[in-house]
């Protein structure tokens, strides 16, 4: 079965992962697409659950082999991508796919799957709020925080490239809006009934 796809994208720290985790807990017919990356694993992360952690050489070999639906070098020698096997794994379970990916990867998947895919740009209420959220995480080195902050403004300029912009100001409201997006797209509710 080929189900539908939900892409949640945003600048880092906008809240897309929180929204995606909520949706996965609420809907049994959604399956998470685990991305592959070459970045270092954080202490709380689990290989194969949060990401597939690969070396740069392993990642490049998979690119050469055509194993990715989409991939990108986000930072120097820091690659992210969606494996074809991951898409097939979720569909084989009879579920709709949910992606939590960066802006460029989201654009690439939307182009590839078009109408079977709903793309959602999760926008923070402001850039300053986003920088505050990133700082409060305490998961970044000063250098990686600076990289992410520099990338934010560029990513924010892409928000109108996606089907829906979801402003994540008040989390409870954002979660309800995300649920409505899933219900509407999977059930085919006309836009005027939303």
Q: Which domain holds residue 169?
A: 5-187
Q: Tell me, yes or no, whether 36 lies in a domain.
A: yes
- Structurally, the chain folds into a number of domains equal to 1
CA 103 to chain centre: 8
User: What pTM, to 2 d.p., does this model score?
Assistant: 0.84
The confidence score (pLDDT) of residue 154 equals: 81
Q: Report the candidate in 55, 61, 52, 117 with the shortest Cα–Cα distance to residue 81.
A: 52
The answer on pLDDT for 193 being more than 50 is no
Q: Tell me, yes or no, whether 57 lies in a domain.
A: yes
Q: Tell me, yes or no, whether 21 lies in a domain.
A: yes
Q: Tell me, yes or no, whether 139 lies in a domain.
A: yes
Q: Tell me, yes or no, whether 193 lies in a domain.
A: no
Round to whole Å and give the CA distance between 1 and 17: 26
User: Could you give the angle at the alpha carbon of 69 between the alpha carbons of 65 and 100, nearest 5°?
Assistant: 135
Q: Tell me, yes or no, whether 17 lies in a domain.
A: yes
Please report which confidence band the pLDDT of residue 192 belongs to, taking 50, 70 and 90 as the band edges: very low
The confidence score (pLDDT) of residue 189 equals: 56
* Mean pLDDT confidence for 17-28: 96
Query: Mind listing the pLDDT tens digit for each residue in 95-144?
Result: 999 999 988 899 999 999 998 999 999 998 887 887 777 777 777 778 87
Q: Could you tell me the CATH number of the domain that includes residue 126? A: 3.40.50.300
Please report which confidence band the pLDDT of residue 1 belongs to, taking 50, 70 and 90 as the band edges: low
Question: Given CA atoms 168, 115, 94, 82 in this order, what sign does their dihedral have?
Answer: negative
Query: Mind listing the pLDDT tens digit for each residue in 41-85?
Result: 999 999 999 999 999 999 999 999 999 999 999 888 999 999 999
**Cβ(71)–Cβ(82) below 8 Å:** yes
Q: Tell me, yes or no, whether 81 lies in a domain.
A: yes
The answer on pLDDT for 194 being more than 50 is no
Q: Tell me, yes or no, whether 107 lies in a domain.
A: yes
HEC profile for the chain?
CCCCEEEEECCCCCCHHHHHHHHHHHCCCEEECCEEECCCCCCCCCECCCEEECCHHHHHHHHHCCCEEEEEEEECCEEEEEEHHHHHHHHHCCCEEEEEECHHHHHHHHHHHHHHEEEEEEECCCHHHHHHHHHHHCCCCHHHHHHHHHHHHHHHCCHHHCCEEEECCCHHHHHHHHHHHHHHHHHCCCHHHC
Round to whole Å and give the CA distance between 194 and 190: 7
């Amino acid at each position: 079965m080929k189900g539908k796809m939900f892409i949640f994208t945003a600048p880092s720290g906008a809240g897309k992962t929180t929204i995606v985790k909520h949706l996965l807990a609420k809907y049994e017919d959604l399956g998470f697409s685990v991305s592959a990356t070459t970045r270092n694993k954080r202490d709380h992360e689990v290989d194969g659950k949060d990401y597939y952690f690969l070396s740069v050489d392993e990642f490049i070999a998979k690119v050469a082999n055509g194993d990715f639906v989409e991939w990108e070098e986000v930072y120097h020698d820091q690659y992210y991508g969606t494996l074809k096997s991951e898409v097939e794994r979720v569909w084989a379970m009879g579920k709709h796919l949910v992606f939590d990916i960066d802006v460029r990867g989201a654009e690439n998947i939307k182009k590839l799957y078009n109408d079977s895919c709903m793309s959602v740009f999760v926008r923070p209420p402001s850039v300053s709020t986003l920088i505050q959220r990133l700082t409060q995480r305490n998961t970044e080195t000063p250098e990686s925080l600076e990289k992410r902050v520099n990338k934010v403004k560029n990513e924010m300029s892409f928000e109108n490239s996606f089907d829906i912009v979801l402003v994540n100001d008040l989390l409870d409201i954002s979660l309800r809006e995300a649920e409505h997006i899933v219900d509407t797209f999977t059930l085919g509710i006309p836009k005027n009934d939303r």
